[in-house]
């Protein structure tokens, strides 16, 4: 810290006394360019289906998602992150619907790119929206099979890119999946397709509303060891150095961008990653964070606008190049 001073000749409050000088000396700026709109799509006809635990962030039909892509373009939001809620009848242990080139994710991607070609579409690479047990990988004797899962994830990523996705985001936390996906994309001529790795994804209590939104519900059932637990593949909340190792591996395997998930409880991780690697680094303001802010605001316990904007600025202050958030369209309107 090179700037030093002593009271009374130095008075920090001088730089806080009016809006114009606060704006002139503000260290972080938040604009619509910093936002990625997290969106859940469904395969039904109804344009919007409310998710009780996520008020204001309904599931959207393919048609409504295409209209939302146009709205994103108008608001200046650069990209949309798409997550599927499929018909429960299509779910089974192997998550085979993830490999359907005419399934929900691919259909929504094509519709959104047709509607707003200049809006980036980022798709999730994981099996949890498609399996009846709700886990992110294939089960063998009650254990998630890492290498077998990677084979399926690689096929899933290829199918999604062929449908028009600009970026794939493997969220499964299988070891080695980034390298396998990069190799497969390059071999098929998709050298320009981007990978944003969920490099530091923690086993968190803040994912519950999202599981409601995609319909994964309770994890596991009796066939899975520790059925309600993803701790054998998602990171331990106590670990920080491990996050740096995960990021280093994923960058070496070909990740173009990395992500920290969840966001607010892991700002220290976000800061360490950005400072250590300097790579494009993103935070995911997850469903539980969204739900807490909405619930507190609905009860009059928080000023909704100030609280949301403060959290988004916190990500920027910690070093995030952008934020994946369900608040994106709301925030872009305020910022615009």
- Residues catalogued as catalytic: 201, 261
Work out how many domains the chain is built from and give that number.
1
Query: What secondary structure does DSSP assign to 54-101, as a single string?
Result: STT--EE-HHHHHHHHHHHHHHT--EEEEEEE--GGG--TT-GGGG-T
The answer to the question of residue 19 being in a domain is no
The answer to the question of residue 16 being in a domain is no
- C-alpha–C-alpha distance, residues 36 and 248, integer Å: 24
The answer to the question of residue 261 being in a domain is yes
**Residue numbers of the domain that contains 251:** 29-335
Assign residue 313 the CATH number of its domain.
3.20.20.70
The answer to the question of residue 4 being in a domain is no
The answer to the question of residue 155 being in a domain is yes
Tokens 């009780």 belong to: 52
**Spatial CA neighbour of 329 closest among 29, 33, 123, 37:** 37
The answer to the question of residue 5 being in a domain is no
The answer to the question of residue 17 being in a domain is no
pTM reported for the whole predicted model: 0.95
- C-alpha–C-alpha distance, residues 243 and 236, integer Å: 10
Tokens 């969220």 belong to: 171
| Per-position pLDDT tens, the chain of length 336 | 667 789 999 999 999 999 999 999 999 999 999 999 999 999 999 999 999 999 999 999 999 999 999 999 999 999 999 999 999 999 999 999 999 999 999 999 999 999 999 999 999 999 999 999 999 999 998 899 999 999 999 999 999 999 999 999 999 999 999 999 999 999 999 999 999 999 999 999 999 999 999 988 666 544 445 555 799 999 999 999 999 999 999 999 999 999 999 999 999 999 999 999 999 999 999 999 999 999 999 999 999 999 999 999 999 999 999 999 999 999 999 998
The answer to the question of residue 23 being in a domain is no
- C-alpha–C-alpha distance, residues 238 and 270, integer Å: 14
3-state helix, strand, coil in the chain (%, to 5): 45, 15, 40
């Amino acid at each position: 810290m090179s700037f030093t001073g002593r009271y009374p000749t130095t008075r920090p409050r001088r730089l806080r006394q009016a809006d114009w000088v606060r704006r002139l000396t503000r260290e972080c700026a938040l604009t619509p360019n910093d936002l990625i709109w997290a969106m859940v799509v469904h395969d039904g006809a109804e344009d919007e289906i409310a998710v009780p635990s996520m008020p204001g962030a309904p599931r959207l039909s393919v048609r409504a998602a295409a209209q939302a892509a146009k709205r994103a373009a108008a608001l200046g939001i650069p990209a949309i992150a798409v997550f599927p809620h499929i018909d429960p009848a299509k779910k089974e242990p192997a998550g085979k619907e993830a490999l359907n080139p005419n399934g929900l994710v691919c259909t929504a991607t094509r519709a959104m790119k047709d509607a707003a070609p200049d809006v980036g579409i980022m798709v999730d690479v994981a099996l949890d929206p498609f399996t009846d047990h709700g886990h992110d990988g294939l089960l063998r004797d009650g254990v998630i099979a890492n290498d077998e899962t990677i084979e399926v994830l690689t096929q899933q990523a290829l199918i999604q890119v062929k449908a028009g996705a600009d970026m794939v985001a493997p969220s499964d936390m299988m070891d080695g999946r980034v390298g396998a996906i990069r190799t497969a994309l390059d071999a098929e001529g998709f050298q320009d397709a981007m990978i944003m790795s969920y490099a530091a994804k923690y086993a968190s209590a803040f994912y519950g509303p999202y599981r409601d939104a995609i319909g994964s519900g309770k994890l596991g059932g009796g066939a899975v060891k520790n059925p309600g637990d993803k701790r054998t593949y998602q990171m331990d909340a106590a670990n920080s150095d491990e996050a740096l190792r995960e990021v280093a591996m994923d960058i070496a395997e070909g990740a173009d961008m990395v992500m920290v998930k969840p966001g607010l409880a892991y700002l220290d991780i976000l800061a360490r990653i950005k400072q250590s690697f300097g790579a494009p680094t993103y935070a995911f303001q997850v469903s539980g964070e969204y739900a807490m802010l909405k619930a507190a605001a609905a009860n009059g316990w928080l000023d909704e606008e100030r609280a949301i904007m403060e959290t988004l600025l916190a990500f920027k202050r910690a070093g995030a190049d952008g934020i994946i958030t369900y608040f994106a369209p709301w925030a872009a309107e305020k910022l615009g």
